[in-house]
Amino acid sequence: MGKIKSIVSDWNGTLIKDKDEAPILKGLGLAVLKASMNPFHPLRKSPNCRFFHLIETKHELELLYKKRQQDPNSDSVEEMYRIFNENVVKGLPIGFISDFINEYSADYGVQERLDSRIIHTIIIKRHILEKAGIISSGYEYGVTRIMEESMYYREGFRFDFIKGNNLETQDEVAIGFSLDNYEKKHIVLEAEFRKEKFEPGTCAYIGDSIEDIGCMPLAKYPIISFLATDGFKQYAASTLNAFVPETQLDLMDYIEKA
């Protein structure tokens, strides 16, 4: 019997193929744009729903994504959220955002992007795990709803905790998505050790990027996501002594025997 008694996983690039929150933000932007073009929709009255304003926002984000593709190491997350919060999210009714998230989460294309290799492994090994959780820099409600709509939750599986960023609100309208967890996931992990009462010495942490490096030394058993780049896999294996599984069977065997 192995020594791994808990597994904490990153979300983007680990449990879902999306590398960041760009797909869900783009979807929300398109939903707002569609509403702004409907003369009978209540959002038509919002200054953030002006057609050309949203088109310009789309252009700004596309330039940012292009820059990131040219330089994968560039940090564009904060800028992406700033543009989106200021130009799209601010002033939206909370109910509009919640309705969009609920519809988005149930979409087949979104569900298809979940990486079954890690989730199935956690489900199969659940009987030996005291805790299984997610720590994400994404929107916590979005992560939760995607999992709730998944076949895994419908079959009875549950993560013990899901921690992500929240939507800041005031008087039933949105101010913007927070970045409380961004580059601070290690602080969240330390807090969960205390709150959920599980030990770092028996914990495996699964991640895919530089943002996860702070968490890996805290957990005794760092594991690299199947979706991570080859460069990060090599770096984490040599620098952090992280385990890099090639197949789901490799991962299952490691959890069982580590």
Pairwise CA distance, residues 29 & 116, whole Å: 28
Residue 184's Cβ-count burial label (10 Å; 0-12, 13-18, 19+) is middle
pLDDT, residue 159, reads 97
CA atoms within 13 A on the CB side of 176: 15
Predicted TM-score (pTM) of the model is 0.91
* Residues 79 and 114 sit within 8 Å (Cβ to Cβ): no
* Residues 116 and 14 sit within 8 Å (Cβ to Cβ): no
pLDDT, residue 252, reads 96
pLDDT, residue 165, reads 95
CATH of domain 6-18+113-257: 3.40.50.1000
- Dihedral (CA of 139, 175, 65, 183) sign: negative
pLDDT, residue 80, reads 83
pLDDT, residue 1, reads 55
The per-residue pLDDT string of the chain (258 residues; one tens digit each, 9 = 90 and over) reads 579 999 999 999 999 999 989 899 889 988 988 887 777 777 766 655 556 567 777 778 778 777 767 765 556 778 888 888 988 898 899 999 999 999 999 999 999 999 999 999 999 999 999 999 999 999 999 999 999 999 999 999 999 999 999 999 999 999 999 998 888 999 999 999 999 999 999 999 999 999 999 999 999 999 999 999 999 999 999 999 999 999 999 999 999 988
pLDDT, residue 239, reads 94
Pairwise CA distance, residues 258 & 241, whole Å: 13
Give the residue extent of every domain in the chain.
6-18+113-257, 22-110
Residue 50 tokens read as 């002006």
Outline where DSSP puts E strands in 100-214: 131-139, 161-165, 167-170, 173-177, 203-207
